[in-house]
Amino acid sequence: MSDIYQPREDSFLLSEFVKKEISALKPIKVLDMGSGSGIQAETAINSGIKPENLTIADINPLAVKFLEEKFPNSNVIFSDLFSEPLGKFDLILFNPPYLPENDFDVEFDTTGGKYGSEIINRFLADASRHLSEKGKILLLTSSITTQIDWQGYSRKLLGKKRVFFEELYVWELSHKGQARHK
């Protein structure tokens, strides 16, 4: 499992809001994008999402194999973000690689490109096509991630947490005009 992203402070922070969102909205179809070890998928199921209404996607073939075994009743897909057909979802969860490239952190599961936002921007460019009419995205970012292109999403800051040298943020994103920007 050392080749699969393991839950850290960012994962646990996002998980808190996954529980709240699912309890409040009872979404029918959920996508856990870039699932890694599956903490958000597990949180979704434990919060009431039926495994068959959960799609889990990851680019790491080792993670996909692990997730297929851990979640046999869910749809587990090997996909580079939205490169595979995934459908539409009421809730999309994403804890992306968000750290800017540097000499110390060049791991694919934590580094999001030169500014840390390149993978986030690719995700945001395609995600709206996979949201149901009133669908939402829960996205984790960092204070050290720069140049995020929000693509016109309505966004609301749900929470933040100071960790080491950065501040982590959990955002709720929706189609333009659905959520209030804070």
User: How does DSSP assign 134-156, residue by residue?
Assistant: EEEEEEEEETT------TT-EEE
Residue 5 in any domain: the answer is no
pTM for the whole structure:
0.89
- What rounded mean pLDDT belongs to the chain? 88
**Helices 9-25, 39-46: inter-axial angle, 10-degree rounding:** 30
Residue 1 in any domain: the answer is no
Residue 3 in any domain: the answer is no
Residue 141 in any domain: the answer is yes
CATH of the domain at 42: 3.40.50.150
Residues 156, 162, 168: CA angle, nearest 5 degrees: 40
Please tell me the predicted confidence (pLDDT) of residue 113. 57
Higher-confidence residue: 65 or 144?
Answer: 65
Residue 88 in any domain: the answer is yes
Residue 136 in any domain: the answer is yes
Of residues 40, 20, 15, 16, the one with CA closest to residue 30: 40
100: tokens are: 């800017």
Residue 180 in any domain: the answer is no
Residue 121 in any domain: the answer is yes
DSSP code at position 73: T
Residue range 5-61, pLDDT digits in tens? 787 899 999 999 999 999 887 778 999 999 999 999 999 999 999 999 999 999 999
Q: Tell me how many domains the chain contains.
A: 1
Give the integer Cα–Cα distance in Å for 106 and 179. Answer: 35
Q: Which domain holds residue 156?
A: 11-174
